[in-house]
Amino acid sequence: MENEIGWELYRTFLAVLTEGSLSGAARALGITQPTVGRHVGALEAAFGQPLFTRSQTGLLPTEAALALRGYAQTMHSTAAALARAAASRGQGVSGVVRISASEVIGIEVLPPMLAQLRQAHPQLRVELVPTNRVQDLLQREADIAVRMTAPRQAQLIARRVGEVELGLHAHADYLRQYGTPASLDELAGHALIGFDQETPFLRAARKLLPVWGRESFALRCDSDLAQLALIRAGCGIGICQTALAGRPGAPLVRVLGGQFALRLETWVTMHEDLRNSPRCKAAFDALVEGLQAHVAGADSR
């Protein structure tokens, strides 16, 4: 590889990996399919080995391609972060800020805070990423992240906003029909809502609640949002944030509140290089203030 490989080749390579075909990558990138083919061919020639093999379902990545995926994703995230920073240069709070949070926090908790943020700074554009995958702030997958665990990287700025309490909850209709358990042992006789795949959260919950295992769940789903929807629909008893349980229009009843509770530390974090960015500082401060109020509101109930 005597010549430097242009970023556009890696961008195209990543699109083919993601879309699984030359045509899909062409649509995603807004370029022609022959151009995608030329980019992949040039990259394969530079590396001296094939990156994809054809199959009935599309293009399958080779081991070499899979080994390159992480590096290409890092380049993509860095390029996106560069574009966000470049777009924000100028006076005042403007440009794009990318915020990552868990599904439940991102969809159930943050929207009102982001509405206030946009009212205060109408030139600010927000990219919200609701995902339970921890976005890598060091690789600039996001500018700011709301996390339920303390960050360990020294390069991150972190602000603890408090603890989010989780408890067992059910819809009143379910409890009227099937009764309210009076002890943790009685949970085994109820329809429990939980995860399908083993998770760190499930293991932590089981330490306090031995019955909370996959085989005990009448309804299994790995989406926190889907579990919350199942609880609200009266399908059974599940774990959710106490702050969300009492919301108007979808009130839930806490079950065995004196016998079971989980508290998750909540942090707002961002890369230290962004501390002087007006757009990131405004968003960071707004999230800290909003989440502190969210946690305090739950504690006062």
- CATH code assigned at 225: 3.40.190.10
Do 94 and 65 share a structural domain?
no
Give the pLDDT score at 1. Answer: 47
Do 24 and 56 share a structural domain?
yes
* Confidence at 172, pLDDT banded by 50, 70, 90: very high
Q: Two tokens at 42?
A: 């040039």
Give the pLDDT score at 259. Answer: 92
Do 200 and 249 share a structural domain?
yes
Q: Highest mean pLDDT range out of 9-18, 198-207, 241-250?
A: 9-18
Give the pLDDT score at 140. Answer: 73
Do 295 and 154 share a structural domain?
yes
Residues 86, 91, 92, 94, Cα dihedral to 10°: -30
Give the pLDDT score at 199. Answer: 80
Do 149 and 184 share a structural domain?
no
Question: Which domain covers residue 18, as residue numbers?
Answer: 7-85
Closest listed residue to residue 192, CA positions, set 241, 228, 244, 235: 235
Q: Mind listing the pLDDT tens digit for each residue in 40-78? A: 998 888 888 899 988 877 788 999 889 888 888 888 877
- More confident: 1 or 164: 164
Give the pLDDT score at 300. Answer: 52
Give the pLDDT score at 3. Answer: 59
Give the pLDDT score at 271. Answer: 86
Q: Are the C-beta atoms of residues 219 and 230 closer than 8 Å to each other?
A: yes
Residue 2 resides in a domain: no
Residue 299's alpha-carbon distances to 110, 161, 254, 266, in angstroms, are: 18, 13, 14, 14
Domain boundary (51, 85, 119) is at 85
Residue 1 resides in a domain: no
Domain boundary (32, 52, 85) is at 85
Do 272 and 143 share a structural domain?
yes
Q: CA-to-CA distance for 7 and 25, rounded, in angstroms?
A: 15
Q: Exposure of 48 by Cβ count < 10 A (0-12 exposed, 13-18 middle, 19+ buried)?
A: exposed
Q: For the chain, what is the mean pLDDT?
A: 87
Domain boundary (59, 85, 111) is at 85
Q: Are the C-beta atoms of residues 298 and 242 closer than 8 Å to each other?
A: yes
Do 40 and 65 share a structural domain?
yes
220 pLDDT above the threshold of 90: yes
Q: Exposure of 14 by Cβ count < 10 A (0-12 exposed, 13-18 middle, 19+ buried)?
A: buried
Do 205 and 272 share a structural domain?
no
Closest listed residue to residue 280, CA positions, set 50, 62, 56, 117: 117
Do 112 and 195 share a structural domain?
no
237 pLDDT above the threshold of 50: yes
177 pLDDT above the threshold of 90: yes
- CATH code assigned at 59: 1.10.10.10
Do 179 and 100 share a structural domain?
no
Give the pLDDT score at 247. Answer: 77
Q: Mind listing the pLDDT tens digit for each residue in 112-150? A: 999 999 999 999 999 999 988 776 666 678 889 998 888
Q: Is 161 helix (H, G, I), strand (E, B) or coil?
A: strand
Residue 73 resides in a domain: yes
206 pLDDT above the threshold of 50: yes
Residue 194 resides in a domain: yes
Give the pLDDT score at 299. Answer: 57
Specify the number of domains making up the chain. Answer: 3
Give the pLDDT score at 148. Answer: 85
15 pLDDT above the threshold of 70: yes
Residues in the chain: 301
Neighbouring CB atoms inside 10 A of 268's CB total 26
Which segments of the chain are extended strands (E)? Answer: 52-55, 58-61, 95-101, 124-130, 144-147, 156-170, 192-194, 217-220, 238-241, 253-255, 262-271
- More confident: 197 or 190: 190
Do 95 and 81 share a structural domain?
no
Instruction: Give the mean pLDDT of 200-218.
Output: 86
79 pLDDT above the threshold of 80: no
Do 104 and 242 share a structural domain?
no
Q: Are the C-beta atoms of residues 208 and 166 closer than 8 Å to each other?
A: no
Residue 173 resides in a domain: yes
Q: Are the C-beta atoms of residues 133 and 225 closer than 8 Å to each other?
A: no
The 3 state secondary structure assigned to 274-293 is: HCCCHHHHHHHHHHHHHHHH
| Candidate from 85-94, 209-218, 258-267 with smallest mean pLDDT | 85-94
Instruction: Give the mean pLDDT of 100-123.
Output: 94
Residue 265's alpha-carbon distances to 13, 47, 151, 158, 164, in angstroms, are: 39, 46, 11, 12, 6
